[in-house]
Amino acid sequence: MPLDPQRFLGDLHKLRCFGASGVGKGVVRQAYSNADIAARKWLAERFKDAGLEPYLDPLGNLFGLAGENSLLVGSHSDSQPEGGWLDGALGVIAGLEIARAAKEAGGPPISCVSFQDEEGRFGVLTGSDVWSGKLALEEADGFADDHGNTLANMRSTMADLASDFLPHDRFSGFLEMHIEQGPYLEETGLGIGVVTDIVGIRDMRISFEGRQNHAGTTPMHLRRDVFQALSDFNTALNSRFANVVTPATVWTIGHVALHPNASSIVPGRVEFSLQWRDADADRLARMEAIIRETVQEIAAGHGVAAQLGPVTGIEPAAMDARFQAELAAAAEALAPGKWQKMPSGALHDAANLATVMPAGMLFVPSIGGISHAFDEDTGEADLVLGLQVLNRAACALAG
């Protein structure tokens, strides 16, 4: 049987019932949450129904296996704390439909995968980081989320279902379909983006330790106020980055934990996240040097102690030339003139997979460029076009 767009859309809508936020189509399905585990069990059933062998590895990556030396197609089904319904789910269900259709049509062997914790509840791309060998399982086990839960604890809840890690050479390559998560395709009226490379990302936790004290009796000039230190650090960093970055470079302070966080106390400790992304590894390193230097200067100026956590992240990754060519050919055949090659500003499992097998990636438009939010969405015609382009390339690459 050929590809079934309605079955594909139906499964996509079913998956968003797991952790449905009740706000638009949004989902709350963080890695290892009850909703995430229930979704993976539901996916395993879909794999079985499609004649694929459900296979869970120790980290929680869920495969639907076809025969030996198959092409792997998928993404991730975990979400941000407040996530959209598509994000990684789109690539997983596209992989399911393509593998299922190939099986039904007696086509080439195509397997499907949903990686675990792509959204970085514990690390950055924890599931594919560990499977690709970039991160040791023992080290990942020590990672904790913002509430102090360790990955070791969370993954133990599914240990009874897990088998060993799969060898990479079981697969001939990896294809991932994803929403763009940015405004480019929509603004330029294109339906498909063929990804050339994925930007590198760096994550760091920084903390300042000052002097917690009474907010009424401590004169301003005697304070060691960590919120003031954080604010001045942010201001200084923005101006120092200006000489180094390009319009495509981004950096974000998205997490701030102030302590004790009471209105009448001068805050004595703050921990915050700093994330920066660029396609050029040298620029990422120059930015890290500026961050370290600025942290030390601001800390000294405010009389606070600074701690810099380890830098996690991933290198910029180029997509495989042959995979790019097949995706481009499929896009030109099905959407002539309506597609373009582009880099990915977002991080994806494909960046890890590219280090162990040929990998390719395809984007569909995001309405308003919105993602990692409940109102993330994409027109269903664009979703189906993406599925058809991905399927055409998959059959060519797996054949």
Which residues make up the interface to a copy of itself (CB under 8 A)?
80-82, 119-120, 146, 180-183, 199, 201, 203, 212-222, 225, 227-228, 230-232, 234-235, 238, 247-258, 260-268, 273, 275, 277, 344-347, 369-373
Burial class (CB in 10 A: 0-12, 13-18, 19+), 5: middle
Question: Which CB atom, from 10 or from 81, has the smaller least distance to a copy of itself?
Answer: 81
In terms of CB distance, is 256 or 289 closer to a copy of itself?
256
Q: Which residue has the tokens 């990302």?
A: 201
Cβ proximity to a copy of itself: between 215 and 381 the closer is 215
d(CA 360, CA 150): 32
Shortest gap between Cβ of 263 and a copy of itself (angstroms)? 4
Q: Where are the beta strands (DSSP E) in the chain?
A: 53-56, 62-65, 70-76, 110-115, 171-179, 192-198, 200-209, 213-214, 250-252, 256-259, 265-266, 269-278, 305-308, 312-314, 317-318, 339-344, 359-364
Provide, rounded to whole angstroms, the least separation between the CB of residue 217 and a copy of itself: 3
Shortest approach of a copy of itself to residue 221 CB, angstroms? 8
Nearest distance, CB of residue 240 and a copy of itself, angstroms: 14
Nearer to a copy of itself, 57 or 145 (CB): 145
- Is the CB of 37 or the CB of 230 nearer to a copy of itself? 230
- Coil, helix or strand for 259? strand
- Residue (6 or 246) nearer to a copy of itself, CB: 246
Residue located via tokens 């936020």: 21
Report the distance separating Cα 359 and Cα 132, nearest Å: 13
Looking at residue 183, the DSSP 8-state letter turns out to be S
Q: Which residues pair with 251 in a beta bridge?
A: 276
> Which CB atom, from 32 or from 47, has the smaller least distance to a copy of itself?
32
Q: What is d(CA 3, CA 99) in angstroms, rounded to the nearest whole number?
A: 9
Least distance to a copy of itself from the beta carbon of 187, Å?
A: 11
Nearer to a copy of itself among residue 110 and residue 266 (C-beta): 266
Cis peptide before 260 (omega within 30 of 0): yes
Between 27 and 66, name the residue whose CB sits nearer to a copy of itself: 27
Half-sphere exposure (CA, 13 Å, Cβ side) for 297? 13
Three-state secondary structure readout of 97-128: HHHHHHHHCCCCCEEEEEECCCCCCCCCCHHH
Least separation in angstroms between CB 340 and a copy of itself: 15
Secondary-structure breakdown of the chain: helix, strand, coil percentages, each rounded to the nearest 5:
40, 25, 40
From the CB of 105, what's the least distance to a copy of itself, in Å? 35
Q: Report residue 292 CA to chain centroid gap.
A: 26
Nearest-approach distance from CB 277 to a copy of itself, in angstroms: 5
For residue 119, the minimal CB distance to a copy of itself (Å) is: 7
Query: Of 69 and 252, which has the nearer Cβ to a copy of itself?
Result: 252
CB of 21 to a copy of itself, least distance (A): 12
Characterize the bridge pairing of strands 171-179 and 359-364: parallel
Phi and psi at residue 177, in whole multiples of 5°?
Answer: -105, 140
The string of DSSP codes covering 6-43 is: HHHHHHHHHHTTTTB-SSTT-B---TTSHHHHHHHHHH
